[in-house]
Amino acid sequence: MRSTCAFVIPTQEGSSLLTHKLSVARVDPSFFGMTKKAFERISTGVFLLILIVLNANAQTKAKTGFGLPVDKSEFQVFIDGLSTKVQGRIGMSALLIETGETVGYKADERFPMQSVYKFPIGMAALYAVDQGILKLDKSVKVANEEYVSAAQHSPLRDGNPDGAMVTVKELLRLAVSESDGTASDVLMRLVGGAQSVMNYLQAIGITGVIVKNTEKELGATNSVQYDNWATPIQATLLLKQFQLGKGLSVSSRALLMQLMTDTQTGLQRLKGNLPPGTVVAHKTGTSGTREGITAATNDIGIITLPNGRHIAIAVFVTDAKADQTTREGAIAQIARKVWEKYQL
């Protein structure tokens, strides 16, 4: 004969019950010098402890990706496969702004932004314009000492080796549409430095986008890029605030939206697999490659769907060994997957 013990354990959410039946071989309690009741109490406690541990382990796996295997969504499996292809870490978040629907993958983890951070710097600069601190048509002197290194992207430096006079509006265009590192640093200087950018972000409710250093500093020390990070979910929240006009005037938002729509960098990323003519306002970020590892291949932006709704999406590919085509292709595939999910 065999005895059966049943245990009912609530899941972590407390909304359902997990019931286990354990079949236990009958043994003679006297063999252990115990009464039947004492043996049953101890054996029941042991099995209950085992079930609690197994259930907690499953909950940990579902939240962190570690522990015993659990069922994954099709979307998670899809990005797992892309992570294997890029030989690195992928994080993403997408938000259908009009409904609040979301999908994400490692959305709370930190990823180095690289030039993605020129988007919040641009927002902070335009907020200064709205406050009358800066004027779009004001010419600003840019000394050649402010230029980023030769290894970094800067059309402003390349076209003006002895320094230049540039309007604030042109600095915005260079920083956002052309991802000019020097222009970004000058904008940061004009708004009062990285802390002023952070103050602006915190004022509009953004806590997981961190701007600490200039582009020149990023270029000088490789590890500094990891101090300037974002979580995918906070990046999409920033895009949502931007789309809804939070923290900027109507005219400033329209200007930045146009500059992001005109972006010529990373055309094979978010836009790569979308239908021709799809409007994407985006900002890319890319690091150099050292010892075969590329720290950042990123793209965040707002995709306008055929039905007029908008997706805020952020995709970060970090510390990847794959080539640029593979890394950018992964971002494009994720964007297409999200587009298909929400376009109806």
Q: Is 295 exposed, middle or buried (0-12, 13-18, 19+ CB in 10 A)?
A: buried
Q: Of 146, 170, 178, 215, which one is the catalytic site residue?
A: 215
User: Is 215 a catalytic site residue?
Assistant: yes
Number of other residues whose CB lies within 10 A of the CB of residue 192: 14
**What tokens were used for 165?**
């006079």
Query: Is-contact 315 331, C-beta < 8 A?
Result: yes
Query: Is-contact 194 178, C-beta < 8 A?
Result: no
- Alpha-carbon distance 123 to 24, whole Å? 65
- Alpha-carbon distance 72 to 55, whole Å? 16
CB hemisphere CA count around 4 (13 angstroms)? 4
Query: Is-contact 39 29, C-beta < 8 A?
Result: yes
**What tokens were used for 135?**
């004027």
250-261 vs 168-177: helix crossing angle, rounded to 10: 40
- Alpha-carbon distance 172 to 154, whole Å? 13
Report H helices in the chain.
Answer: 36-64, 74-86, 118-130, 155-159, 168-177, 181-191, 194-203, 215-220, 232-243, 250-261, 324-342
Helix (H) or strand (E) holding 9: strand 2-10
User: Is 115 a catalytic site residue?
Assistant: yes
Amino acid in the structure at residue 106 = K
Q: Of 115, 184, 196, 287, which one is the catalytic site residue?
A: 115
Q: For residue 320, what are the contacts with CB-CB under 8 A and spacing of at least 6? A: 86, 87, 88, 89, 293, 294, 297, 327
Chain Cα centroid distance, residue 256: 20
Residues identified as active-site: 115, 215
